[in-house]
């Protein structure tokens, strides 16, 4: 048995980027920042920020593209995927991404975006129930 599940609560580091695959699927890519606070051995407060590359497909991507902006706090569920690609310099690289299949907006929209209008969204939660949404 194996498990590949990610649960994150954080803030968008940039506005989502939207594009459509050659098969017509909507895709959203964005970065998510999560913070960790702790006391080190010297008793000093330390805060670390971890950045996560996130990708969503289909209906989840549509909701993200429509309602999320930089700074918005969200709850995400998904799984990790590492893909190999060749950079512009011809060097092979790997990138680990969170493939998002559930998203829920947290906090108030005014905390991050003046474009968001409360009540404009019929649903504040979006999810994909199957991996069949992933175009690979």
Q: Kindly report the CATH number assigned to the domain that includes residue 53.
A: 2.40.50.140
In a domain, 51, yes or no: yes
Would you state the torsion angle of the CA atoms of residues 93, 83, 64, 71, taken in this order, to the nearest 10 degrees?
A: -40
Q: What confidence score (pLDDT) does residue 82 get? A: 96
Q: What is the pTM of this model?
A: 0.75
Domain holding 21, by residue range, is 6-133
Q: What confidence score (pLDDT) does residue 128 get? A: 54
Q: What confidence score (pLDDT) does residue 119 get? A: 36
In a domain, 20, yes or no: yes
Distance of CA 38 to the CA centre of its chain: 24
Domains in the chain, number: 1
Q: Which residues of the chain fall below pLDDT 70?
A: 108-136
- Beta strand pairing status for 26-39 and 45-57? antiparallel
Closest CA to 102 of 66, 64, 71: 64
Q: What confidence score (pLDDT) does residue 107 get? A: 75
Give first-to-last CA distance, the chain, whole Å. Answer: 23
Q: What confidence score (pLDDT) does residue 127 get? A: 56
Which helix H or strand E contains 61, and what residues bound it?
helix 58-67
Q: Which two tokens stand for residue 129?
A: 């129930």
At residue 60, what are phi and psi to the nearest 5 degrees? -60, -45
In a domain, 1, yes or no: no
In a domain, 88, yes or no: yes
In a domain, 67, yes or no: yes
Q: What confidence score (pLDDT) does residue 110 get? A: 56
């Amino acid at each position: 048995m194996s498990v590949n599940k990610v649960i994150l609560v954080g803030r968008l580091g940039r506005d989502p980027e939207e594009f459509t695959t050659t098969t017509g699927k909507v895709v959203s890519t964005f970065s998510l920042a999560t913070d960790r606070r702790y006391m080190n051995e010297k008793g000093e407060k330390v805060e670390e920020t971890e950045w996560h590359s996130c990708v969503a497909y289909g209906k989840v991507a549509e909701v993200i593209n429509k309602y999320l902006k930089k700074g918005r706090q969200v709850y995400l569920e998904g799984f990790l995927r590492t893909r190999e690609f060749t950079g512009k310099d011809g060097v092979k690289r790997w990138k680990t991404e969170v493939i998002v299949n559930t998203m829920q907006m947290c906090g108030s929209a005014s905390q991050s975006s003046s474009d968001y209008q409360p009540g404009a969204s019929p649903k504040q939660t979006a999810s994909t129930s199957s991996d069949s949404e992933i175009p690979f």
